[in-house]
Structure 1
Amino acid sequence: MNFPSPQDSLSTSHDLGWTPIAEEAERAARVLHPDYQLPRPRRRRVLTVANQKGGVGKTTSAVNLAAGLALHGLKTLVIDLDPQGNASTALNVEHRSGTPSVYEMLLGEVSLVDAAAVSEQSPNLLCVPATIDLAGSEIELVSMQSREARLKEALSDHALDQLGVDYVFVDCPPSLGLLTVNALVAAREVLIPIQCEYYALEGLGQLLSNIELVQQHLNRELSVSTILLTMYDGRTKLADQVTQEVRRHFGEVVLKTVIPRSVKVSEAPGYGQTVLAYDPGSRGAMSYLDAAREVAERGAAENQEGRG
């Protein structure tokens, strides 16, 4: 099924002779008040957003894809597994020390339902925040029983059913430590953001090797289902070269949508917002909305093919 793209409004508004400001306002209205809903997956999708390289748009992608799905009627949960708490900041949920958080959830002290907070950006958008307490959690987890499966136990089908979520995005720290292993064990799918820059594929082999180890020993259902190209700068040949290289290596798992380098995307977390809330008419917001729609459409296509 094909849904109208937010980008479709561009040609219409040009035909009407609108000003750039009017065009952006019209696009923003489409984002904030969509006239269609995205299809629900046949079964809940749990995606771990991972890349041990910092600054690739990992957290930005997790929160904006989640927000895009939530705006279009899908109940979405973000698990902030990064001690920096950037996803919690972008979704504007409380994450001061002492707040029920992913740390207490991993230790079994609070349930998922008690730790999940509703983002003010959408009633469909939930977040389990990360507090500073999470920083020392890897040391504590080492001595615990089933240390690699603590997050999986917390994200049980029963707990997720209580929240009624369609999508779960687990935002990982920029490392391949025990927190990231927990995220890979808890999910069925991995989403890897790759920036369109010179060192884009550096270290990716190590990440894929770790994913393969988790597949073999801890989670046979795990697969790399989605790769999202971020920070694309159309003014450079390098961006196109990286894009072509990634598509050649990974084929159909790479989303067609590419996220452009955008000041608005970078500014949004500073205001406790996703770019969809901060500047819904911007190119960055449009791109993340298109990427979210593509994720949902792929899920629906898998439903029809019986691969769920």
Structure 2
Amino acid sequence: MNTINTLGPNTPRIALIGECMIELQHRADGSLQQSFGGDTLNTAVYLSRELGTAGSVDYVTALGDDSFSDAMCRSWSDENIGLGMVQRLPGRLPGLYCIQTDAAGERRFLYWRNEAAVRDCFTTPAATPILAALPDYDVLYFSGITLAVLGVKGREKLLETLIEARQRDARIVFDNNYRPRLWASIEEARAAYRSVLPYVDLALLTVDDEQALFHFADCEAVFEAYEQIGTPEVVLKRGAEACLIRCAGESFKVPAQKVEQVVDTTAAGDSFSAAYLASRLKGGSPVEAAEAGHRLASRVIQVPGALIPR
């Protein structure tokens, strides 16, 4: 059974696969504040911070050759994230999204990502050496959003990579992050998820997403499904409620940290996942890892935006 904290190397190499987009925040006065965002990128940043010198973090994506892509790469380098697996495709652009907030504080997201460079991340000639190098990493991390944006051909390449990485004793980490608007149908999404889940060693799941995608009745039904798949370690993230964990036949319930005022829940789950994984890679128990995840997430939701200052 592959568990995350049984890795041999003292400084594991981790590759996170996904998309980072240009983010525009629509302010009340009509102005726009520009930044960058993406689920696996948020996790990569927090993972790099949490690990420090105890591991190395690379990001795997495709960008354009524009100034926004340049700025992304500079910011990732500042966070000690390796850029050797980032493709720069001439004439292409990153995806873009805008956040609009109404008078009640509810947020609405508008996306422009259909032509984003990441769509061809695993199908260009330049992807061949990247795909060949990925199985040599100690940990590969991706999400449901990764599955969606890669498309059919990209998902096929990813699946081949996961199988080979597993054969080389790499650990596979998956965050479910189901976003219905990214899929042509729920059947397509289910098929994509089911194709990769048998190769996952650590599943970091949001309960609401699992219920939306697979219509599970409750948390126990989720655990039973993943036990049948054979996933060694499953974490159910439940927002402000305690997270639930099944690992190597044991069950754990770890309370979340109470926060007096929630400012912005963006990247709460991404940061939890980063701190959980970092703790496990450093030898922490599932309970210690969940406590670390709750601590970081509680700080993140008290600050606007996905990435809090270092």
TM-score of the two chains, using structure 1 as the length reference: 0.42
Name the structure with the higher strand share. Answer: 2
TM-score of the two chains, using structure 2 as the length reference: 0.42
